[in-house]
Amino acid sequence: MIGIVGAGAFGTALAVALARGGREVRLWARDPAQVRAMQDTRRNEAALPGVDLPGAVSVHQEIAEVVGGQALLLAVPMQALGALLDQWPQIDARQPLVACCKGVDLTTLRGPVAVIEGRRSGAQAAILTGPSFAADIAKGLPTALTLAATDGAATDGVALQELLSTPTLRLYRTGDVIGAELGGALKNVVAIAAGTVIGAGLGDSARAALMTRGYAEMVRLATALGARAETLAGLSGFGDLVLTCTSSQSRNFRFGHALGRAEGFDPRVTVEGVATARAVVALAQGLGIDMPVTAMVDALASGRTSLKDAIGQLMSRPLKQE
């Protein structure tokens, strides 16, 4: 049995994919009304409309009913992960704990695996990340992801890779947790910037330049923290960056697009890149690392600068060698 905590779009899509791959899946949702609706209709219309839950997926309100299996996937927003672990002591180290979120914790300035390990001593922690839209996974479209667990850790990455792979969901394994975490976190920040460029009508050439310079920032910060540059060139970095910077399915891109058009954005939609930008600015300042794109996104999202001023600041930076 595989447990999944969090019945949003991504958690539900993973449940569907794994069940189709022959796994028994128990899915936990916080809202009792949502649990009842999913049990009755066998759908999660609010998060993933039009997708039927396979018979191997059961939906639960009690978190004790989804723990203790072969693995527990934590499909909650990054900024909610620590609070979830604090609230539910039933989530323990009896099984591998796999983070399915992207970002940097605002309180600790650490990634999902470090947050899990900090709250569960001896945890078998890992992260599942990479270029993926929930709708594609749920439809059974071919998707490849990165599964990262620290080399030499208690987590058996090979066994997890086999457990969570299906005919349509292909997992690649890495021991570079920091690289995988930061690739998934920072690409959301760059996606906001890319959406802003397109929303403001600055064109595809500007987006390409922005993506390239944003990728340079991703590599710069990640390697300073001990990541391998080649990890950022893989699925969890470059692959995810391309996907989220070029598709309106990305919430971060859509948020940036609204910023560029000076339009409002639905506050109920989780936009991980906003909090990540704020956390990364603090992290980079502490390390003395220059991250102008990230700083621009943070200033724009918080309303501390205008789009015109942000563009002017980026374009007037000193000329230098690439």
Residues 68-96: tens digit of each pLDDT = 999 999 999 999 999 999 999 999 988 99
The pLDDT score that the predictor gives to residue 150 is: 80
Render pLDDT for 11-70 as a digit per residue (tens, 0 to 9): 999 999 999 999 999 999 999 999 999 999 999 999 999 999 999 999 999 999 999 999
Stronger pLDDT, 322 or 7, i.e. the higher one: 7
Query: 186 and 227 in contact (C-beta within 8 Å)?
Result: no
Q: Give the mean pLDDT of the chain.
A: 95
Sign of the alpha-carbon dihedral angle for 181, 282, 267, 72: positive
The pLDDT score that the predictor gives to residue 313 is: 85
321 confidence band (pLDDT: 50, 70, 90): confident
118 confidence band (pLDDT: 50, 70, 90): very high
Q: Mark out the alpha helices in the chain (DSSP H runs).
A: 9-20, 32-41, 78-87, 112-119, 134-139, 157-164, 177-199, 204-224, 229-232, 240-246, 251-260, 272-287, 292-301, 307-315
Output the six-digit token pair for 315.
């374009």
Catalytic (active site) residue 187? yes
Taking the C-alpha atoms of residue 246 and residue 133, their distance in angstroms, rounded to an integer, is 12
pLDDT of 255 higher than 80: yes
Taking the C-alpha atoms of residue 160 and residue 100, their distance in angstroms, rounded to an integer, is 14
Q: What are the structural domain ranges in the chain?
A: 2-175, 179-315
The pLDDT score that the predictor gives to residue 156 is: 76
Output the six-digit token pair for 168.
């349509």
User: Residue 142 carries which DSSP code?
Assistant: -
The pLDDT score that the predictor gives to residue 214 is: 96
CATH code for the domain defined by 2-175: 3.40.50.720
**For the sheet containing 2-5, what is the strand order?**
57-60, 25-28, 2-5, 71-74, 97-99, 125-129, 143-148, 169-174
Render pLDDT for 268-318 as a digit per residue (tens, 0 to 9): 899 999 999 999 999 999 999 999 999 999 999 999 999 999 888 888 878
Render pLDDT for 174-208 as a digit per residue (tens, 0 to 9): 999 999 999 999 999 999 999 999 999 999 999 99
First-to-last alpha carbon distance for the chain, in angstroms, is 50
CATH code for the domain defined by 179-315: 1.10.1040.10
- Cα atoms in the 13 Å half-sphere on the side-chain side of 99: 34
3-class DSSP string for 83-135: HHHHHCCCCCCCCCEEECCCCCCCCCCCCHHHHHHHHCCCCCEEEEECCCCHH
pLDDT of 153 higher than 70: no
* Residue located via tokens 């991250």: 291
**What average pLDDT does this structure show over 235-255?**
97
Q: Please identify which of the residues 102, 139, 187, 308 carries the catalytic annotation.
A: 187
The pLDDT score that the predictor gives to residue 283 is: 95
